[in-house]
Amino acid sequence: MEQTYFKCKYYLKYFALLFVFLLFVLTVNAQDQKISGIITDGQGKTVPGISITLKGTTNGTVSDGNGYFTISAPIGSTLSFTSIGYEKKEITVANKSDLHIVLTAAANGLDEVVVVAYGTQKKATVTGAVVQVSGQEITTSTNANTVNLLAGKLPGLRVAQTTGEPGDYATNLDIRGLGSPLVVIDGVPRSAIDLSRLNPNDIDNISVLKDASAAVYGVRSGNGVILVTTKQGSGKPVFNYSATYGVAQQANSPQILNSYQFATLTDESYINAGATPPYSAQQLQQYQSGALPSTNWLNLVLRKSSPEQQHNISASGSSDKTKYFLSFGYYEDGGIYKSGDIGDKKYNFRSNITTNLTKDLQVEMLISGLKDDKYQPGEGVEAIYQALWSEPPTLTPFANNNSGYLQMMPDGTNPVSITNSSYSGYADVDYKNFNGTIDLNYKVPSVPGLQAKILYSYNDTYYFTKNWIKEVDLYDYDAPTNSYSVTGSRNAPTTLSQSYTDINSSTAQASLQYDKSFISGHNIKVLLLAEEDKSSGLAFNGSRQFSLDAVDQLYAGNTLNQQINSSEIDPSVNQGIVGRVNYDYNGKYLLEGSFREDGSSKFAVGHRWGFFPAISGGWRISDEPFLKDKISFLNDLKIRASYGILGDDASSNYQYLSGYNYPGENYVFNGTLVNGLGFRGLTNENLTWYKNHMLNIGFDATLFTGKLAVTADVFSRKRDGLLGTLLLSLPGTVGAALPQENLNSDLTRGLEASVTFKDHIGDVRYSIGGNIAFTRTKNEYIEQAGATNSLSNYLGNSANRYNDIYWGYKVIGQFQNEAEIKSSPVEDGNGNRSVLPGDLKYQDVNHDGVIDGNDLQPIGKNANTPEITFGSTINIQYKGFDLNALFQGGADATVSYLNTIALDGPLAWGRNGLTAFMDRWHHQDLFDPNSPWVPGKYPTTRTKSGTTNPDYWNYQPSDFWLKNASYVRLKSLELGYTLPSSIIGKTGFIRSLRVYVNGFDLFTWSGLNNFIDPEHTSAVYGMQYPIMKNYNLGVNLTF
Amino acid sequence: MKKKIIYIMLAVVSSLIVFSCKKDLNVAPQNIIQNSAVFANESAITAYFASLYNELPIEDFDFHPYVGFNVSAQYYMPNLTDESINCLNDDRQDIGSGISLGWWGYTSVRNVNQFIAQIPSANFTQQQKNQWLGEAKFILAYYYFAMVKRYGGVPLITTVENYTGSNLSDLQVPRNTEKDCYDFIAKTCDEASALLPATSDGSRANKYTAFSLKSRAMLYAASEAEYGSVQLNGLVGIESSEAQGYWQKAYDAADSVMASGKYVLYNSGSDKTTNFTNAFIDAASKENIFVKEYQYPAKAHSWDLWVLPHGGVIGPSSGYGSRINPTLELVNSYENIDGTDGTLKLNDANGNPIVYSNPSDVFATKDPRLNATIMLPFSTWKGTTLEIRAGIIDNGQTITSGNYNDLYNNQHIIGQWGIGGGGEISQTGFYVRKYLQPATDHTLIGNYTSTQSFIEFRYAEILLNYAEAAVELGKTSDAMTAVNLVRDRAGIKELTAAEVTRDRIRHERLVEFAIEPNRYWDLKRWHIYDKEFINRQFTALLPYEVLATGGYEFKTKKVGYPKTFTTNMYYERIDPGQISTDPKLVQNPGY
């Protein structure tokens, strides 16, 4: 491993050299025009603090206090002038060095173009609930996962990161709580994984279709659509290099008990069980004084901070016929193991080229690829965190502190060996993705406004995993005989498993578009489109055991016990025909109608095709004579509504097919392993997609000469045809469950609002924006057995109820003393004889003297993502300085860590625990069970056995364990300084230079602080890699 | 010209895409095969049987009463009885409450009924089809027996039922009586044995496998009639007048197996302990009638992982182990070789502890099967002495500790494998030896790494079924012959005719089948469970080293959670979900 690491550094050095070389070559070739000028507003007042950027890059300068600026730019390139409160202005650099730029006060981006399904539209005429964020707004912070960069920036787009593990990219993403959205990148359906691994610097904008405007995506549109558009070049060649270096630290991660605390709790648990405590009072004292060892496994194997860096280089520009954007990105996350053996390296490249073959025919070729190398020790993160949280602190990493002998641990998971590839081997995941799209766009010359387009795209995703798990001998030291013996061999015998998965998909589209504006004010736009998407894949894996672990290649392994297998990724095909008409009259009355006839191969013949219509309209009241110029502060007001039917085929893969799954379970007949048949049971040929009825009503308003923009939406989605089974009505003696049918329904409702205010105080320009969204889903019809009585109806009926009700006991306190225990309802099934002071006291709802299932009541919500999500962005510009801060959070959320081994109590199977549990009920004198109780937050310690506990009554679902997971984060903060052109100009070849510092997940306020991060779910017992905060220093250079 | 080419190109490509025909939607995964293909192919029939056999609810190493079949959860059957307790008390604190051991196996029944319905019309030779039909009938009888011994009478379904959309009430069926069910099992076993060949490889059923099943089932039926009581109009329980008939059927079925001469007790070496040890791991044993085989790595089990002593140079590397701790009660119940009561002699006549210079001597006179079934303190496992010590007695002072690493006079106070210190070591001072595979290196033992066959029917059971039925039928000498074959193989004194009593036969089953799943069902069918398990705690044997001499003395202590068996638990609760979909099902008493 050491060697590989060294090689990587070597490689980086070459990369740097190459880069410097390129820099010189390019500098020599560029022909720059030095430009200076002054910027004024409509009233002739000079405007300071305007950003001047070279289009296609993020580089430029800022006008000084007197409105003057200087910049170097190649002739033919485009300069864009932007600032809060002004309309964006673009000019082409000509052979003129002295410019006077006049900016007009912004009408808040109404001329802005928004990417919608299969095209673009002026924001002013959009009738759907569509929100858009620019690439520049995305890259205001640094994170490996592009999806994480979207958190809090768009109302209704919900992002919940679950781990900070390098190369894991696991983040939950949905729109309005509707489920997994369709992700479309440059017009081609892709996966959410592709979005999370996309280089954020390549993104021009991301647009989110939240309502019926997604219906043209048919059978996959039901959960909304995210449209990503990558950058295009314009103007003369511009080269851009940006880099960040940073460190990441654990954001919120629990601490573990030291050996004194551990021994104390252990003794306590034994004494509470009436058993002899394993540690004597004298030993406790020695642990406390340090005479006996205490190992903090977290500090031993984890480093305080892990290194991160990224480099991006891009070239963009255009000639009269060709536009191009070329980029290369590198991202490295070094991970927090001291061994350095976990981490991720990601390489992205992209080539977006558009050229006019003839006057009317344009061809576009988009090619992108990425390679993501994740490496980690042979043990997964979950196993490692389990070991870190639970290995006893009384043990030392090496037997008798002799470094030649790794100490045997409970379960054989010695943290030193399992975090270290040189001991325990490694698991490398090599993820590669290639995407290529070619399209031809033909402007039919004889019919102005008519365009024909065809597109073909091919996407290939390839995973290669190599898991080399080495046998590690672990020792115990025996003091009386002064000897070491191998008492465990972790992962014996040494095994190598390799697997590859190849998933490929393709998209073909053909479309006709017709735009026509009539002098009378009528404008129409028509789209007709046909599309086919296919995907299929295959996985193959093999493993062998090794007698000799010198060569980590399959060919060196033993053939005995070798295993080979393959599996097919379910193939799928979608076909659709789309029609859409947009009509508006003078941009005042807006109407859009669309349909898609869509088919999915996942269903039986006769149930494959569906029709998905949508209609939406808007009315710009502010353009009506009775309002126009009547209300001085109102610039624009649009009311809009949309309704459509959307589909979702994600739930059912070929369930209609009858027969047998082969192979099924296996069995051994006379020494020969025989694959069995899997019985598929009854099938339903009528199964089809979910049908979603989506209604959205909203308005957009701009006020006070564009300073204030307000948008609000309310929506409801009614879904029919959710899968349910008539199972409950078919007797079990039939021996087959009825197949799933499209029976159930639900209803999701919510609202969103966002407000942006932009203004300036002298030279200080600022904008402050906020958004908030709320969503909740209610089951409507649920196929279920009729309740036999009103109590079972109360407890068991899920129809017409919210789908996230968390049932549990209501805790009315902790038992204070034996007398209270004796006089309270029985909760241990044993006359409360096993209950101790400090144990949870539950409400006996039905007053029957027994706490049982009949006393359950709704006590919270078990939504994984908060129902209320919000974000707030603050932007401040002052001369060359810029500051961007994003606060993001969620409310009305709860999380339960019940039955998680470590997060709900210490000492599972005699292992260690978290310091949080020191705050517990205990006897004043540990060794005297008759001494008074000292109250604490948690019940007194028992001999916990993982998820089943001797005091199981404390571990029932209750509001005690339901923690408030509402939070607010300072999600990102960036402070940048763009060097004035007066300095930059002198260098001769640098056009612009911006330096900045930023951070991600910097501060979190939540009820779970110092315990675990609020976004960490209880999945895998909560033992995920911590969520990381990072601090970066960055530079952005254009030349 | 150029434009024309472009037009044509556009037109062609667009139409290709749009009209690429709806057939394109006809893609499907290839791992689904059709019914017609299955019944036309001998390999597919074998695959069918692989699934049917795999679904046999055999209470093997990978069975856990609360979790199910074919799972790697610690095998638990003896921990429900007086045989053993769990080292952690963690899994369940009692012996269930009649709601955990359920197996409502109608999915499996449907699968075998489908086979029985379709095989007659398949295109194979009649002989071949008969053999398969016989095998299917054996499997069907096995499925039903597994249900009846749990629930009493259950609905008898012998056809493949289909839901037409309007026949729901026809599909809602009442329970058959327990008698009906046992009669059905007897009849189906008879049909199976008539169709099946006399020999098979042991992993698949033959004529005598069907007889073995019948002898076991009829023994249970007879016990129900003899010792149970009829409730719910016969849905559970059988009229006592039927008892004799069932004893006779059990006797006859066992007799058929014995008369065949195909099976003998494993008796290969002179050392009785070694012999009884090997009987469970020698795949060539002619005592085996029906086994479930395993193979590494695709179908292995986890027996060694769960029962080997945890830790040290014995235990599996991945932790675990020690989950079945045999009780002192079980150890005591092994007779001495001379046939006398085997209760360990711990104290002398005055009640003072006896000091054994060699601690193993306390077991010296015991039935050789004890050592082959249970790992005793200071016995040897693969060259390592199993050090089990509760403390040291120095000058009359008892030194104990909760921690193996604590030393006294530079000597460990307690043994590495107990007693004390908690964690995953024996609470009772005993570990399981039966079925362990000594050939496997302990570091290689993990989840799903063990491959020894599980013996579902072995000849010793047939002999003891026969002996029990014979005793109940008053045929003492037949019983004596059979039970003495077992005792002779064990290496203990044979019984005289006067000694052949119901209790001695039952006792023989306890020690012969200890740790195997039989005891739980025996206690139930004899209807003695509720009388013997009222808040009953079991005993540990605590060895103490007497420092002065190096000898050992022993104390005892009650350990583990008390076990209680309530009368309703004789019949498992029918899952209320089943009753809600089939209102004609009557719930068992007491739920």
Tens of pLDDT, residue by residue over A983-1008, are 776 776 787 889 999 999 999 998 77
Looking at the predicted structure, is the pLDDT value of residue A29 above 60? no
Determine the average pLDDT of the residues in B21-25: 64
- For chain B, percent of residues with pLDDT exceeding 90: 77
Mutation target to probe the B interface, by most B beta carbons within 10 A, among A734, A899, A901 is A734
Q: Does B2 touch chain A (CB under 8 A)?
A: yes
Please state, as a whole number, how many other Cβ atoms lie within 10 Å of the Cβ of residue A126. 26
Asked if residue A196 lies in contact with residue A168, where contact means CB atoms within 8 angstroms, the answer is: no
pLDDT in tens, A566-585: 988 888 999 999 999 999 99
Name the residue with higher pLDDT: B321 or A984: B321
- pLDDT of residue B33 exceeding 90, the answer is no
Q: Using the beta-carbon criterion (under 8 Å), do A731 and B578 form an inter-chain contact? A: yes
> Is A945's CB within 8 Å of B34's CB?
no
* Sequence-separated (6 or more) residues with CB below 8 Å from residue A559: A544
Residue A255 near residue A338, CB atoms below 8 Å: no
Q: Which of A489, A573, A788 lies nearest to residue B443, judging by beta carbons?
A: A489
Q: Do B25 and A575 touch (CB under 8 A)?
A: yes
Per-residue pLDDT for B89 more than 70?
A: no
Looking at residue B285, what DSSP letter applies?
A: -
Instruction: List Cβ neighbours of A680 (8 Å cut-off, separation of 6 or more).
Output: A657, A658, A659, A660, A661, B32
Q: Answer whether A474 sits within 8 Å of B28, measured CB to CB.
A: no
Per-residue pLDDT at B179 exceeds 90: yes
Chain B 372-431, residues with CB within 8 Å of chain A CB atoms: 400-403, 405, 407, 410-412, 420-424
**CA B414/CA B421 separation, integer angstroms:** 8
* Phi, psi torsion values for A246, nearest 5 degrees: -160, 175
Please state, in angstroms and rounded to a whole number, the distance separating the CA atoms of residues A950 and A958: 17
A597 at the B interface (CB within 8 A)?
Answer: no
List the single residue in A with minimal CA-CA distance to B88.
A945
Amino acid at site B42: E
Chain A nearest-CA distance from B54, in A, is 6
Query: Could you report the per-residue pLDDT of B279-319, keeping only the tens digit for each?
Result: 999 999 999 999 999 999 899 999 999 999 988 888 887 77
Backbone conformation region of residue A702, classed left if phi is above 0, alpha if psi is from -120 to 50, else beta: beta
Please, what is the average pLDDT of chain A? 88
- When the pLDDT of each residue in chain B is averaged and rounded to a whole number, the result is 92
**With 90 as the cut, is the pLDDT of residue A612 above it?**
yes
Token pair 């990978």 is at which residue? Answer: B62
| Residues 525-564, chain A, touching B (beta carbon < 8 A) | 530-532, 534, 536, 561, 563
**ipTM attached to this prediction:** 0.94
Q: In which region does residue B590 sit, left (phi positive, over 0), alpha (psi from -120 to 50) or beta (all else)? A: left
Q: What is the pLDDT of residues B244-260, one digit of tens each?
A: 999 999 999 999 999 99
Mean pLDDT of B39-52: 95
Mean pLDDT value across residues A727-747: 85
B159 near A CB under 8 A: no
Centre a 10 Å sphere on the Cβ of residue A1018 and count the other Cβ atoms it contains.
19
State the burial class of residue A464 (Cβ atoms within 10 Å of its Cβ: 0-12, 13-18, 19+). middle
Residue A601 has its nearest CB partner, among B25, B32, B297, at B25
For β-strands A182-185 and A225-230, DSSP reports them as: parallel
How big is the CA angle at A818 (ends A813 and A819), to the nearest 5 degrees? Answer: 90
A952-959: average pLDDT:
92
Phi and psi, residue A945, nearest 5°: -125, 70
Query: Are A730 and B411 a contacting pair at CB < 8 A?
Result: no
Residue A85: per-residue pLDDT: 63
B579 and chain A: CB distance < 8 Å anywhere?
no
Can you list the positions of beta strands (E) in A59-156?
A: 60-62, 68-74, 78-82, 89-92, 98-103, 113-116, 119-122, 130-134
* Range A709-738 average pLDDT: 87
Asked if A568 is an interface residue toward chain B (Cβ–Cβ < 8 A), one would say yes
Which of B318, B323, B412, B542 should be substituted to probe chain A, the one whose Cβ sees the most A Cβ atoms within 10 Å?
B318
CB contact under 8 A, A733 and B582: yes
Interface of A with B in 434-453 (CB under 8 A): 440, 442, 452
Residue A256 DSSP code = B
How close does chain A come to B503, measured CA to CA in Å? 35
- Spatial distance between the Cα atoms of A740 and A722, rounded to a whole number of angstroms: 9
pLDDT single digits (tens) A783-820: 877 777 888 888 888 889 998 899 999 999 999 999 99
pLDDT value for A865 = 80
Test B203 with A412 for CB contact under 8 angstroms. Answer: no
B5 touches chain A (CB under 8 A): no
- Greater confidence, A632 or B227? B227
Q: Is A699 helix (H, G, I), strand (E, B) or coil?
A: strand
pLDDT in tens, A304-361: 999 999 999 999 988 888 999 999 999 999 999 999 999 999 999 999 999 999 888 9
Average pLDDT score over residue span B62-88: 87
Query: Taking Cα atoms as reference points, which of A1025, A1031, A904 lies closest to residue A253?
Result: A1025
Are A735 and B295 within 8 A, CB to CB? no
What φ, ψ does residue B515 adopt, rounded to 5°?
A: 75, -25
- 3-state secondary structure at position A57: coil
Higher pLDDT residue, B420 or B349? B349
Cβ burial A731-766 (10 Å sphere, 16+ → b, else e) = bbbbbbebbbbbebbbbbbbbbbbbbbbbbeeeebb
Backbone angles phi, psi at A547, to 5 degrees: -85, -30
pTM of the model: 0.85
The predicted structure's pLDDT at residue B105: 95
Distance CA A601, CA A1012 (A): 44
Q: Does B12 touch chain A (CB under 8 A)?
A: no
Q: Which residues contact A14 (CB under 8 A, 6 or more apart)?
A: none
